[in-house]
């Protein structure tokens, strides 16, 4: 079975946004054994979109479009796709109700233009949008399956997962099973080098490493006629991989690194507090992305200034004066003052120079100290992170989580 992904939107052709949807969908389809031969990007232009759709309908089984479902007049995906299929648009009652209640619940008046978002080609299967106002839809013809999804990834991805993936799985011959071994604390090229002999001889299952902001995910994918056989194939390869890089694998389930850390803290009956300087709340923000974290995470301090470090964490002025705010000594004093003050059994503190200004020859931009208090002892590590301010801060957040994970598992 073949598929083609058509991203619709002039903003893509202007280079205003990156077409991450095409990558996401391509990977999803590849995992299911559906071959993507083409990706196309076309603007919000009827003639050129029609041309693109007609060609895709001739050469491909499954067509997935993203974008152009917004309420404004320049969004014309739905109208044009209906035209290409020779279908007229009809009002979809349930979608209209959803739209009205969506605006009502947010206490905002609905613009008239939003009404067009409840119009759907006749006979299409509506794909509900639980994260926005534009429903998607699917049309089956004798030759093609046309799946129409919204452009914003936070709407497109859940819609794909909830509504599209199950449909495509039913169409696929054989089943595809995959498992991701999530690694932290090791680089992509190092992992790849260590398991190169497995990568080289892969057939079924296959294995592929993916770098994910500070983590490496190893995805094992097996194709089989039944689930038990696929799981057996994956188990065998996982065991071999674990024999080589097992120490770095933090989970093989859906959980994120922060969820794994929070679950381990909870299991051990530990509590956590966090003090952040250069990351300024991002580490806490990520930990609090775990729902129901309140039994584990007690409190956090954003101590960007020296005054705040002294006031809330009890860091002594002499330490700041002698070693500076970005030093092993300050990081240690921050986490020890933090857990004392907060009464938690574990703590993380981060202090560093995220840049672009503030660096010196001795303390360059990217220098970050992270301290972790766990099991009655303090660990401080020094890092040199590459990249811009945003990147340095993001890496420090991941590394803080990794350090705590390591301590919980040591």
- Is 94 an interacting residue with respect to a second copy (CB under 8 A)? no
Residue from the set 144, 224, 279, 330 that interacts with a second copy by CB under 8 A: 279
* Closest CB to a second copy among residues 87, 308: 308
Closest distance of CB 150 from a second copy, Å:
11
- Is 205 an interacting residue with respect to a second copy (CB under 8 A)? no
Residue from the set 72, 141, 143, 161 that interacts with a second copy by CB under 8 A: 72
Closest distance of CB 138 from a second copy, Å:
21
- Is 87 an interacting residue with respect to a second copy (CB under 8 A)? no
- Is 161 an interacting residue with respect to a second copy (CB under 8 A)? no
- Is 25 an interacting residue with respect to a second copy (CB under 8 A)? yes
Closest distance of CB 78 from a second copy, Å:
15
Closest distance of CB 233 from a second copy, Å:
18
Q: Which two tokens stand for residue 408?
A: 């919980």
* Closest CB to a second copy among residues 18, 228: 18
Q: Which of 210, 255, 269, 266 is nearest to 27 (CA)?
A: 210
What's the rounded Cα separation, in Å, for the pair 4 and 6? 6
Closest distance of CB 29 from a second copy, Å:
8
- Is 197 an interacting residue with respect to a second copy (CB under 8 A)? no
Q: Which of 298, 397, 313 is nearest to 346 (CA)?
A: 298
Closest distance of CB 204 from a second copy, Å:
16
Burial 185-202 (b: 16+ CB within 10 A, else e): bbebeebeeebeeeeeee
- Give the CB-side neighbour count of residue 48, counting CA atoms within 13 A: 12
- Is 375 an interacting residue with respect to a second copy (CB under 8 A)? no
- Is 160 an interacting residue with respect to a second copy (CB under 8 A)? no
* Closest CB to a second copy among residues 107, 377: 107
- Is 1 an interacting residue with respect to a second copy (CB under 8 A)? no
Taking the CA atoms of residue 5, residue 154, residue 250 and residue 263 in that order, the dihedral angle to the nearest 10 degrees is: -150
Give the residues across from 347 on adjacent strands. 273, 373
Stretch of 89-97, 159-167, 300-308, 326-334 contacting a second copy, by CB under 8 A: 300-308
What's the rounded Cα separation, in Å, for the pair 262 and 43? 44
Beta pairing class for 62-66 and 2-8: parallel
Provide the sign of the torsion angle of the four alpha carbons 19, 24, 30, 34, taken in this order. Answer: negative
Beta pairing class for 35-42 and 62-66: unpaired
DSSP codes, 296-307: TEEEEEE--SHH
Q: What are phi and psi of 357, to 5 degrees?
A: -100, 175
Closest distance of CB 123 from a second copy, Å:
27
- Is 79 an interacting residue with respect to a second copy (CB under 8 A)? no
Stretch of 40-48, 61-69, 236-244, 369-377 contacting a second copy, by CB under 8 A: 40-48
- Is 106 an interacting residue with respect to a second copy (CB under 8 A)? yes
Closest distance of CB 122 from a second copy, Å:
25
Q: Which two tokens stand for residue 279?
A: 């990351």
- Is 407 an interacting residue with respect to a second copy (CB under 8 A)? no
Residue from the set 125, 141, 154, 322 that interacts with a second copy by CB under 8 A: 154
What's the rounded Cα separation, in Å, for the pair 275 and 313? 8
Q: Which two tokens stand for residue 379?
A: 């660990």
Cα-based distances in Å from 265 to 210, 262, 291? 27, 5, 14
Helix (H, G, I), strand (E, B) or coil at 119: strand
Residue from the set 1, 33, 41, 172 that interacts with a second copy by CB under 8 A: 41
In the chain the first and final C-alpha atoms are separated, in Å, by 47
Q: Which two tokens stand for residue 170?
A: 């039913």
Residue from the set 192, 198, 231, 245 that interacts with a second copy by CB under 8 A: 192
Provide the sign of the torsion angle of the four alpha carbons 74, 78, 79, 84, taken in this order. Answer: positive
- Is 390 an interacting residue with respect to a second copy (CB under 8 A)? yes
- Give the x-and-dash track for 245-274 against a second copy (CB under 8 A): -----------------------------x
- Is 281 an interacting residue with respect to a second copy (CB under 8 A)? yes
The site that binds a second copy (CB under 8 A) totals a number of residues, namely: 111
* Closest CB to a second copy among residues 28, 346: 28
Q: What are phi and psi of 216, to 5 degrees?
A: -125, 125
């Amino acid at each position: 079975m073949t598929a083609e992904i058509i991203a619709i939107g002039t903003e893509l052709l202007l280079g205003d946004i990156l077409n991450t949807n095409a990558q996401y969908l391509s990977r999803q389809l590849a995992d299911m054994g559906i071959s993507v031969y083409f990706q196309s990007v076309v603007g919000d232009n009827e003639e050129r979109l029609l041309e693109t759709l007609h060609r895709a309908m001739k050469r491909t089984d499954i067509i997935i479009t993203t974008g152009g479902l917004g309420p404004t007049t320049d969004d014309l995906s739905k109208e044009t796709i209906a035209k290409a299929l020779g279908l007229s648009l009809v009002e979809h009652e349930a979608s209209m109700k959803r739209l009205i209640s969506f605006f009502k619940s947010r206490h905002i008046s609905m613009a008239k233009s939003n009404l067009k978002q409840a119009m759907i080609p006749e006979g299409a299967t509506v794909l509900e949008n639980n994260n926005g106002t534009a429903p998607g839809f699917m049309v089956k013809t004798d030759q093609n399956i046309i799946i129409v999804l919204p452009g914003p990834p936070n709407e497109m991805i859940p819609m794909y997962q909830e509504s599209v993936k199950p449909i495509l799985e039913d169409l696929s011959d054989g089943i595809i099973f995959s498992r991701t071994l999530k690694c932290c604390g090791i680089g992509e090229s190092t992992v790849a080098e260590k398991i190169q002999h497995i990568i080289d001889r892969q057939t079924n299952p296959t294995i592929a490493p993916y770098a994910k902001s500070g983590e490496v995910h190893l995805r094992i994918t097996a194709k089989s006629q039944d689930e038990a056989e696929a799981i057996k194939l994956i188990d065998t390869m996982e065991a071999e991989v674990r024999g080589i890089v097992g120490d770095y694998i933090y989970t093989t389930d859906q959980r994120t690194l922060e969820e794994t850390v929070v679950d381990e803290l909870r299991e051990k009956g530990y509590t956590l507090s966090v003090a952040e300087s250069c990351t300024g709340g991002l580490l806490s923000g990520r930990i609090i992305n775990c729902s129901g974290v309140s039994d584990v995470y007690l409190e956090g301090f954003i101590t960007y200034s020296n005054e705040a470090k002294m006031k809330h964490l009890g860091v002594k002025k002499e330490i700041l004066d002698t070693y500076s705010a970005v030093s092993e000594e300050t990081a240690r004093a921050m986490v020890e003052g933090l857990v004392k003050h907060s009464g938690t059994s574990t703590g993380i503190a981060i202090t560093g120079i995220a840049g672009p200004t503030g660096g010196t020859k001795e303390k360059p931009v990217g220098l970050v100290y992270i301290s972790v208090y766990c099991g009655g002892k303090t660990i401080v590590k020094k890092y040199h992170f590459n990249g811009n301010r945003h990147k340095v801060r993001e890496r420090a957040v991941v590394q803080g989580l990794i350090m705590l994970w390591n301590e919980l598992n040591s």
